[in-house]
Structure 1
Amino acid sequence: MRKERSLWAGYAYGRRKTVIHHIFLPENLPACVELTDGDAPKYYIKRGDVLLNRTSETIDELACCSVALKDQAAVYGAYLKRLRPIKDDWVDPRYIATYFRSKIYQQEIERCSFVYTTRANINIHQLSMIRLYYRSMTWQHAIGETLSSVIRFNQEHQDMELGELINHFIWAFIDKFITYPILLFQKGRDE
């Protein structure tokens, strides 16, 4: 990225903190970066893109994901990986965003990644070892729509007490409709 040929100044981009704190990539990203005329198209964010945090000081934040629900005139930061589904009709982006916040996904990250003395990292090879579980598209739509509606409601009604209750609901919802069914599936498969 060379500044002297800069075509865009202040181009919005997703940062590591944004990914860690948002299940769905916000429409208005607060950070900006300069890009040269040839760089921007390589890094565009499209609907269904998963931005994944590839390094962290703690295992809890490693491989934390945020999913774009629409195309954005934005790019992603250096400590992130962008994962893009091969086919749009395999998984609902709202469902997979929910899945990436589940205990099942966290177990997969812990199974596949290595923690070094000061930082936890994940690379492409380790990412390829992660098992993903997804349900029928009907279930994916129902789960994804419910969670995205709840999150949208919470963002519109910035009430701290209500927000805390909604966060508890979100985690209980993820456990009930993602974690527990997958644990039952795994248990049945292992028997």
Structure 2
Amino acid sequence: MPQPPALEPAELPSDAVEVGRIADAWGVKGWFKVLPYSSDPEALFASRSWFLQPAQKGGKSFFSGTVLLPIRQARTHSDAVVAWAHGVDDRDAAEALRGARIFVPRESFPATSDDEYYWVDLIGLAVVNREGIALGTVSELLPTGPQTTLVLSYEHEGKPRERMIPFVSAYVDKVDLAGRRITVDWQPDY
């Protein structure tokens, strides 16, 4: 049975954003593999402290509530992210963290430039076309090779549906984060 690391209880910051989860131990010295929720996990690398919560569904957890995990190092390795934390010094301690959800304060996110957006900021935005017709709400984003695709949730005749729109300038006219709205060049019957 994995030995849990000593974790310090903490208060989840009001601006905390869930950015990934711990997948499994990596190696024998306490490193663990992280599954980031973004194709560019800069927020994980920028924050020196992560806040953990147990997995939402099922799974066994060695802690409850929110705990603070001070990070020694986080980096990309092949096509994954791996990290090493203070107090997590062997494989058993790393395995004890499996499934934990990772949160970081929004203030630790690197600044974006014009026409760059964090995926988490786009989730929940209403999407309308140039004619003002509501197309749905962004429920997720999918990396589909050379571009990212917006996945919209909407209802048609009382049934839940999904619509996908490439998140590229050819189709996206404007992203208004303050207004919680994305305007696109897209028709409902596409």
| TM-score higher than 0.5 | no
TM-score (norm 1): 0.27
Quick check: which one's helix share is greater? 1
Quick check: which one's strand share is greater? 2
